[in-house]
Amino acid sequence: MSLPQQFKDWFAARGWTPRAHQLAVLSHATARDSVLLISPTGGGKTLAGFLPSLVEIAERGSGQGIHTLYVSPLKALAVDIARNLETPVAEMGLPIRIETRTGDTPQARRQRQRQRPPDILITTPEQVSLLMADPQAGYLLKGLRTVILDELHALVTSKRGVLLSLALTRLETHAPEAIRVGLSATVADPDALRAWLAPVGSPPVPLVAGQAGARPNIRILASVERVPWAGHSALYAIPEIYREIGNARMTLVFVNTRSQAEVVFQSLWEANEDNLPIALHHGSLDVAQRRKVEAAMAAGRLRAVVCTSTLELGIDWGEVDLVVHVGAPKGSSRLLQRIGRSNHRLDLPSEALLVPSNRFEVLECEAARLAAIENAQDTDYPMVRKLDVLAQHILGRACAGPFHPDALFAEVTRAWTFRNLTREEFDKAIDYVATGGYALRAYERHAKLKTQSDGTLRLSHPRLALAYRLNMGTIVEDEMLKVRLAHVKRRLGKRVVTAGRVLGEAEEWFLSQLTIGQTFLFAGEVLRFEGLDQAGALATRSAADDPMVPSYQGGKFPLSTYLAARVRSMLANPSAWQDLPSQVQGWLSLQRFRSVLPGAEQMLAETFPRGEKHYLVCYPFEGRLAHQTLGMLLTRRLERAGLQPLGFVASDYALAIWMVRDLSLAVASGRVNLAQLFDEDMMGDDLEAWLAESALMKRSFRNVAIIAGLIERRQPGHEKTARQTTVNTDLIYDVLRSHQPDHLLLRAAWDDAAEGLIDAWRLGVLLRRIRGRIVHKALDTVSPLAVPVMLEIGRESVYGDAHDAILAEAAAALIDEASRLV
């Protein structure tokens, strides 16, 4: 289909020509075909998604109900999309009404949207589920023609995507003629997204591939400073990062965690001799502060922003011409997504600088650089069949009105994410929502559904609909407390502290361990802790130079399987070292001289004494989660072998275990067989026994219980604290383990723990990969490759200058020991 003249004129007035993929999406939509568009950042995906809707509404006229539902993963992105969509609508004089509906939308506007629905409603996944739980959903959406799912690759890999897939099957019942338009960056498995978009029983949706963009220019910092052997802050490179900012128009400085963002921003601010406008942006800052930063970026008033993943999705942010990535990116797809913020146009290459924090990260950055240049992708496979999410959806379905289990089962299994759901599993989910399950059915508060005479199920009490609206969703965060800038005055000789403006939110566990007078880094400032009140934490500005850094429980990315394999190959192949910094080449050469470098499919296991202890250091390169689980299981086996393990520490690259007895002697005497020590059978009874004893399962159960509605954290006028929630779920967990070990939520918690907390699948792959390929090297002293993970031992509890001094002292001793040639 060709564009109407009105739209052709608008493109021409802007000096644009419609891209082939934009016209292809229009053609599919006109034929009433769902479609998936995969295009690099800067390729005009958003306009391609909206173009069919704009054309059709312009032709049919406005005011006929909701025509298009646009779903964004971020509230802020929804607001920005609405603002940017208003531009072509206004410039073409189209009579189209566009509104947003997010968790921040006032109730009055929601009521108005019911009475006078917009043509295009821009919303979030959670709001789609809330719409489906509304008894009036059928009326509101009867004229729906299109559902646009933006940043689909970011949605489908989480429980948010699983819940959205169920909402879409319900939506299909209300609006069977509506098509789905998926918009995604380049992904590793496009066919999985094509299948995800289509109802089960229908063929995968057609794929439209956007034009490839210009090849990115990616550099790795060739620092004049000495690259640290360990650490995660990259503070050695701050002067060089500052010079790069000074040479660019606008720079985004991406980091991997919020605590890292605070440290890097503070360090850049201290180096800011030219008073360049540099800002900070991460998810714990107050929303008003984030909006100010975004507005300043769009207006071109900033030279740099230090940010986390909060700015890696969405629209073009001003005149960004450089992306600096501090720390290893952990995945090639994540790197491509982030560097795509630079020169946000297909015909201009993205400009990026990678700043490794340590020597292992140099290898990872080089692997990511090569993968990005090849456009190699390592996005995760879509998440499927989460039973706690199913339970939440069942309750939401009951909020909309009575339903028959047979009809709901047929509807749910139309979702690709639940295509393999058995009727037995579904019935257990129904029974859980209706009664709480066998072990809990005596408690009336868990009975949420009642069976009617015709076999349908309805809510057992109207209050449950309000409880659902207050508690629905799949994002379970740790308890957060607001941090307020306080004012201190003297009254009658006493120090009086009063609360001022909100700076943002930090996790309760961190703030609760502070004492009055301690300083910490937050919102780009050094703050003095003044205490806690009912509203949160109070703090004043401080000039201290050794503040603590809040450590957030979430936000650490795992090393992708794809990059791990590339790093192993690089390590095994000296000819691949030629582009590495000379000091890193020297480090690897020294390792080859002092010990050995393993082959790409081998695993090196080194044993050596140090002090009064004996160490085992192995190098699986499979990510911190898999290594932590391996450490727990190996220590159990080493204990049974009489080697008396004392502890372990894991990084993304290596695992170190220290013990009283000498493992190398046990191996030499035949008392311990390394192949048996690392045998895959540890994934059976050892794993089950460890998980049953560990706090990980209780943590996993807590999250599952909240999502499935077993625990209601929010009630009208009241919200349970994280401590109260944990106590409640721990008690229920113990009851279920004793009285109903096959309970639906215990299975859901096990699945989550295996997938997200212990990375059991990846550990299994590792153990199979190294079977018969373990290279053991008994050494007299620590090896160069072991130094980084050895420096991780005991770091967590030390902060500030003392931490730096202890780390520097330990590093010097270890490096000296590892570097001796005789």
| 623 Rama class: left (phi>0) / alpha (psi -120 to 50) / beta | left
Q: Work out the average pLDDT over 372-394.
A: 92
Which secondary structure element, helix H or strand E, spans residue 778, and what is its range? strand 774-778
Which residue would you say has higher pLDDT here, 80 or 24? Answer: 24
Task: Provide, rounded to the nearest whole percent, the portion of the chain with pLDDT above 70.
Answer: 91
Backbone dihedral angles phi then psi of residue 281, each to the nearest 5 degrees: -145, 115
Window from 225-239, 258-272, 386-400, 626-640 with minimum mean pLDDT: 225-239
pLDDT mean over 750-768? 87
The structure tokens listed for 341 are 């913020």
- Report the pLDDT averaged over residues 500-527: 78
Q: Return the top range by mean pLDDT from 521-535, 541-555, 749-763.
A: 749-763
pLDDT at site 755? 83
Q: Does the structure show a pLDDT above 70 at 800?
A: no
Give the pLDDT of residue 85.
87
Nearest partner of 355 among 239, 450, 447, judged by Cα: 239
Of the ranges 209-218, 341-350, 420-429, 643-652, the best mean pLDDT one: 420-429
Q: What's the gap between Cα 474 and its chain centre?
A: 13
Q: How confident is the model at residue 419 (pLDDT cuts 50, 70, 90)?
A: very high
Within 10 A of 22 (CB to CB), how many other CB atoms are there?
26
Q: What is the pLDDT of residue 74?
A: 76
Q: How many CA atoms lie within 13 A of 220 on its CB side?
A: 24
520 vs 199, more confident = 199
Task: Answer for the pair 41, 340: CB distance below 8 angstroms, yes or no.
Answer: yes
Report which listed range, 166-180, 225-239, 325-339, is most confident.
166-180
Where does the pLDDT of residue 557 fall: very low under 50, low under 70, confident under 90, or very high at 90 and above? low
Higher pLDDT, 375 or 183: 183
Residues 6+ apart with CB under 8 A from 586: none
Which distant-in-sequence residues (6+ apart) come within 8 Å of 47 by Cβ?
A: 22, 88
Please indicate whether residue 170 or residue 808 has the higher confidence score (pLDDT): 170
337: part of which helix (H) or strand (E)?
helix 332-339
Give the pLDDT confidence score for residue 347 in this predicted structure: 67
| Residue 806, pLDDT score | 46
- The reported pTM is 0.85
**pLDDT higher than 70, residue 556:** no
Tell me the pLDDT of the chain averaged across its residues: 87
pLDDT for 290: 85
pLDDT in tens, 661-682: 999 999 999 999 999 999 999 9
Q: Which of 78-87, 161-170, 468-477, 741-750: highest mean pLDDT?
A: 161-170
Higher pLDDT, residue 481 or 136: 136
Specify the 3-state DSSP secondary structure of 242. Answer: helix
Residues 592/765, Cβ–Cβ less than 8 Å = no
Q: How many CB atoms lie within 10 A of CB 331?
A: 24
Helix (H, G, I), strand (E, B) or coil at 199: coil
- What whole-number distance in Å separates Cα of residue 756 and Cα of residue 361? 23
pLDDT at 761 over 70: yes
Give the single-character DSSP code of 575: G
What confidence tens digit (pLDDT) does each residue in 456-465 have?
999 999 999 9
pLDDT tier for residue 112 given thresholds of 50, 70 and 90: confident
More confident residue, 64 or 560: 64
Sign of the four-CA dihedral 72, 73, 75, 77: negative
**Strands (E) located in 660-757:** 714-715, 718-719
Q: Which residue has the tokens 């590792």?
A: 766
**Residue 822: which pLDDT band, with cuts at 50, 70 and 90?**
very low
Mean local confidence (pLDDT), 129-151 = 94
Of 295, 309, 287, 16, which Cα lies nearest the Cα of 151? 309
Region 321-339: what's the mean pLDDT? 89
pLDDT value for 758: 77
Dihedral sign for Cα atoms in the order 103, 107, 111, 112: negative
Lowest mean pLDDT among 86-100, 214-228, 660-674: 214-228
pLDDT the model gives residue 145? 97
- Counting every residue written for the chain, the total comes to 822
- pLDDT-derived band at 407 (thresholds 50, 70, 90) equals very high
- Around Cβ 296, how many Cβ atoms within 10 Å? 15
207-218: average pLDDT: 86
Provide the pLDDT confidence category of residue 797 given band limits of 50, 70 and 90: very low
Question: What's the average model confidence in pLDDT over 799-804?
Answer: 40
pLDDT tens string 282-308: 888 887 888 888 889 888 899 999 998
